[in-house]
Structure 1
Amino acid sequence: MASPPRVLILPYPAQGHVVPMMDLSHCLVEHGVKVTFVNTELNHGLILGALATRDSELAGIDMVSVPDGLGHGEDRKDLARLTDSFSKVMPLELEKLVRRINGDARGSEKISWLIADVNMAWAFHVAKRLGLRAAGFCPSSAAMFATRIKIPEMISDGVLDESGWPRWRGTFRLAPAMPPVDTSEFSWNCAAGDAKGQPVIFNLILRNNAATHLAESIVVNSVHDLEPGAFTLFPNVLPVGPLLSEKPVGSFWAEDDAASCAAWLDAQPASSVVYVAFGSLAAYEAAQLVEMAEGLALTSRPFLWVVRPGSATEELVDELRRRAAASRGRVVSWCPQRRVLAHPSVGCFLTHCGWNSTMEAVANGVPLLCWPYFTDQFLNQSYICDVWRTGIKVPRGGDGEGAGLVGREVVRGKVEELIGDAGTRARALALRDIARRAVGEEGSSRRNLERFVDLVKGLAS
C-alpha cells in the first residue's frame, strides 16, 4: 500500500482564511493525508499562543512559518500594505521552505502537493518549479470566486475600467440565482482602506486569476444548493462545505472560558439571546460601539457580545462590560463561536457577514442581522437578505454630523424585527437542513470532499 502523501497548505495571512483551511487540514488528516500548514511568523506565534495544548489537538498537522516582510509593530490590518509586502517576500521564502523540508525528508515525508488559498494562487508557480502538484481552496463564497474570475468580462462589458473601478453605479447579476452585485461594493475596491492601496489588491487578484489554471482542482467552503448559479458558471469547482471541524482551527486569540460561556447561555430562554460578533478585522468607532451597547440594552433581551482584543480601548471595553452587566448582557473578548451558534438559547446573530460566520450561522439555522464592513461581506449580505432571505440589513447612511452612525433605536428596532420574524427563522432552519444534508452520508459536499481526497492520495481515476 502506498504511503500517505504530505501536502503543504498555504492560506492568505488573515484569520478568516486560516480557519477554513485548518478545517480542511483536519479533514485531510482524518483521511490519512499528512499536512504541513504554513502561516506567517506573526500569525504562527499568535496561533500557538492561543492554543491551550499544542500537540495532541493538532496531531497530524505540522505548523511552520515564513516571514511576511513587515517589521515588528507594522500594521498588518492594512491589507494593501500586507499584500504588497508578502507578494515581494513570500514566493522565495516558500520555495526555500519546501526545499529545506524535502531536502531533510525521505519518501512520503516529502511534500508532494501544495494546496493554496486562491487568494495566494501565485504560489502555484512556485509549486510547478518545485515539481509539486497544486490545488486551490476558496475560503469565500463561490459567488465571490466567480466575481473575481469574471473581471475581464466585466471590463469588456463596460462594468469596470481597466483599473477595476466601476464605470457606473447600480446592481447586476453575473448569472440567475446569484446575489445582486452593487458596483460600489466590489471587494478589491473596499478592501484596501483607500484608493491609493486599491491597485495592490486588484493586481494581486489579477495575478491570482492568471495562475488559477495551474491548479488541478479547486474546492470551496460552500454548498452546491446554496449557490447553484455560481456553480453553474464553474461546474468543475467542488463545494465541500460547510467545513466545521470540532478541533482547533487556528484562532489568533485565546477564547474566554468556554464552560463559563456555556453556563451563561444555559441560563437563558430558548431563542432569546442576541449574539454579536464582527470577526477579526472589522473596526468601529467608540461612538458607534456605545450606540450599539445602548441599542442592545433597549431590547431588554440577553446578549452575548464579542469585543475583539485591540478593537477598543481598555477603558471603553470596561464601560461596555458595565453597560452589558446592567442590562442582561455579557461582553467577552473572544469565544467558541461555533458552539455559541449551536446553542438553543441563541435567537439571532448580529454579524459583519464574513463567509465563515455566514456558513456557521447557516449550519445552525440562526437568522442574521447584517452589518458588513468590507471585502466580500457585502456580497454575502446580498445572499443572506436578497437570495436566501434568512436575515435583514442594518440601515446606514445619512448626512451631516454623525453621518453613517447607526443609532441605538435603529439597533433596537432591527433586533426586535428579526427575532419576531417567523418567516425568516423558518427559512434559516430550512437552509440549515440543506447544509446538514450536504455533509451527511451520501451528501453532495461529502462526496466532493472524498473525490478531492482521492485526487490528493493518487486514487482518482
Structure 2
Amino acid sequence: MGIIPHFLVIPFPVLGHINPLTQFSNVLTKHGCKVTFLHTEFSHKRAKISEDDDGGSQDHIKYVTLPDGLDHEDDRSDNVKVLFSMKKTMPSMLPKLIEDINALDTNNKITCIVATINMGWALEVGRKLGIKCALLFPASATTMASVYCLPKLMEEGIVDSDGNITKTQEIQFSPLMPMMDAKNFAWGTNGKAFFDHLYQEEIQLLNLAEWWLCNSAYDLEPGAFSMSSKFLSIGPLIESDNNNNNKSSSFWQEDTTCLEWLDQQQPQSVVYVSFGSLAVMESKQLKELALALDLIDKPFLWVVRPDNMNSERNNKYPDEFHGRKGKIVDWAPQKKVLNHPAIACFISHCGWNSTIEGVYSGVPFLCWPFFSDQFWDESYICNVWKVGLGLNKDDNGFISKEEIKKKVLQLLGDEGIRERSLKLKQVTWNNLTEGGQSTKNLENFVNWAK
C-alpha cells in the first residue's frame, strides 16, 4: 500500500484562501491522504468548525490552531496588518506544532506542507525540517504569472521599487497569453510595505515550493500554465454534492432557504447578485443597485453580508425600494445557487473563486470588479472567454441604475454569450473527468507526495 501522505495545509486567514484549500483538502482525502488543517485561533472560531461532524472525509481532516499574534480587539479586516503579525509570531511556533502532530501518529508523520500565497514563511520552516512543500495559489494562473514575472517587470522598468506602474500600457507575460492592462496588478492597492514583502520575500520563498497549484483548468488559461513546469492546474476544486460537503468553511451562516425559493422560480429567470467575502459597497452605490433591481423587474437573489450593512457604514435600503420580486440573504451556498436551473446570470465582483464557480456552472456574468486581480478576471470573462459584459462607470466611478438595467437585459438577450458559457462549462468539466488534465495532475501530485 505504501505511505499514506499526510498534508499540513496552511491558508492565509481570508475566505478566498480558506475555501479553495478546504476544497483541496477534501479532494486529497478522496485520494486516501490524511490532512491537518492549520487555522489561526481567530479564523477557527469564526468558521465555527466542528470536528464532531459525521461524514467520510472529515475523519481524515484534523484541525489545529496557532495564534495570529494580534490582540482580541485588533482590526483583522486589515489584511496587511494580519500578514505582518503572523509572519512575526507563527514561524517560531510551527516546528513545535509539527512535532506534536507527528508524536500523535508516528506512522503517519507530515510529509508535505501546502500553503497559500503570503504564507511563504511556512514553506521555509518546512524546508528546514526536511518536509516537501507546495504552494496553492488561490487566484488565477494569470495572476500567479504576474507574480512570477515581477523581477523581470522591475528589470524592464515597467514596475518601480515601490510597486507602482511606471508605464500605462498593456503587457503580455508570454506570447501565448492575452494582453493585460498593467494598471490592474494584483498588489496595486496594498501599499509599499506589502509590495516589499511580496518582492523581497514571497517570490524568493516561492522557489522553495516544488509545485504551484492553481484552482484553474489548463484550458481556461493555457498560456499562463505553459510559463513554468512548476505550474499545475488542479481545478476547478468544486466538490460533488454529497452530504459531507454540506459543511461550509464560511464565516457567515449560509441561508439555505434561498434554494427552496429558487425552486419556485422559472428556469433561467433569476438575477443572482453577490460580491464575495471582502468587497464593501459604499452607501450611495448600494442604494442605486437596490433601485436597479426594482427597475429590471425580474426575480433576483441578492447576497448582502451583515458587515456591509452595519450602522457604521450607514448602509440601508432606500425608502422607495420594493424588492418584491427578490430575496435578500446574508450569505448563500453559492455553488448550489449557481448550479440551480433558475439562475439566468451572475452579477459578480469577479473574485477568482466566484469566477471559477460561475464558469463551472455555465452562467453568464455581469462584471463589477472592486480591486486587485478582479479586473484581470473581468478581462478574461469579457474579452478572452466572452461569457460576460462589463459595466460603465461615470467620471466619479459611480454605476447608475439605468446602466445596470441596460447591461442585465443585454446580457440576458445575448444568445451568443449563453452558448459560449455552456461551451466553456463543458471544456472546464472535461479537465475533471477521468483522464482530464486536472485529474491527471492531481494523481501525479499525490504520487509525488508519497
| TM-score for the superposition, normalised by structure 1 | 0.91
The alignment of Structure 1 onto Structure 2 pairs a total of residues equal to: 444
Unpaired runs of 5+ residues, structure 2, are none
1:321-359 Cα deviation digits (max 9, x unpaired): 997764301100011000000011101100110101000
* Residue equivalent to 1:438: 431
Is the Cα–Cα contact under 8 Å of residues 309 and 315 in structure 2 kept in the other structure?
no
User: CA separation of 1:55/1:225 partners in 2, compared to 1, >3 Å: closer, same or farther?
Assistant: same
Tell me which of 426, 430, 441 is aligned to 1:448: 441
221, 224, 227: which one aligns with 1:230: 224
The 5 A counterparts of 1:32-181 are: 32-48=32-48, 54-56=53-55, 58-102=58-102, 104-181=103-180
The residue number in structure 1 matching 2:369 is 372
Displacement after TM superposition at 1:315 (Å):
10
Give the AA of the match of 2:71: G
Q: CA deviation at 1:318?
A: 9.6
Superposed displacement of residue 55, structure 1: 4.8
2:233 counterpart letter in structure 1: P
Q: Relative to structure 1, is the Cα distance of residues 386 and 326 closer, same or farther in structure 2, using a 3 angstrom cutoff?
A: closer
SS for the counterpart of 1:304 is strand
- Note the C-alpha offset of 1:121: 2.2
What letter corresponds to residue 254 of structure 2 in structure 1? E
Among 352, 356, 359, the alignment partner of 2:353 is 356
Q: 2:308 aligns with which of 286, 307, 311?
A: 311
TM-score (norm 2): 0.93
8 Å Cα contact 1:118/1:136 also seen in 2: yes
Asked whether 1:220 is paired with 2:219, we answer: no
State the match for 1:385 in structure 2: 382
TM-aligned CA distance change 1:69 to 1:179, over 3 Å = farther
Contact 1:47/1:252, CA 8 A, preserved across alignment? yes
Identity of aligned residues (%): 40
Partner Cα separation in structure 1 for residue 150 and residue 425 of structure 2: 32
Matched, 1:332 2:329: yes
Moved more, 125-134 or 18-27: 125-134
Partner of 2:2: 2
1:189-219 per-position Cα deviation (integer Å, ceiling 9, x unaligned): 12x2xxxx43224423541210122222222
1:10 Cα shift?
Answer: 0.7
Greater shift, 64-73 or 441-450, is seen at 64-73
Stretches (4+) displaced over 6 A: 314-318, 321-324
Once residues 315 and 220 of structure 1 are traced to their aligned partners in structure 2, the CA distance between those partners, rounded to angstroms, is: 37
For residue 126 of structure 1, report the CA deviation from its aligned partner. 0.2
Instruction: Give me the whole-angstrom Cα distance separating, in 1, the residues matched to 2:321 and 2:259.
Output: 17
Report the equivalent of 2:186: 187
How far apart, CA to CA, are the structure 2 residues paired with 1:82 and 1:252?
17
Distance 2:196 2:111 in 1: 30
8 Å contact 2:283–2:314 — kept in the other structure? no
Q: RMSD between aligned alpha carbons?
A: 2.1
Amino acid at match of 1:178: M
On the 8 A contact 2:272/2:301 being kept in 1, the answer is yes
* 3-state SS of 1:135 partner: strand
C-alpha deviation, 1:317, in angstroms: 10
Secondary structure in structure 1 of the residue aligned to 2:266:
coil
Q: 1:74 offset after TM fit, Å?
A: 1.8
For the 8 Å contact 2:301–2:326, the answer to whether it is kept is yes
Q: Which amino acid aligns with 2:184?
A: E
User: CA separation of 1:64/1:123 partners in 2, compared to 1, >3 Å: closer, same or farther?
Assistant: same
CA distance in 1, matches of 2:315, 2:170: 42
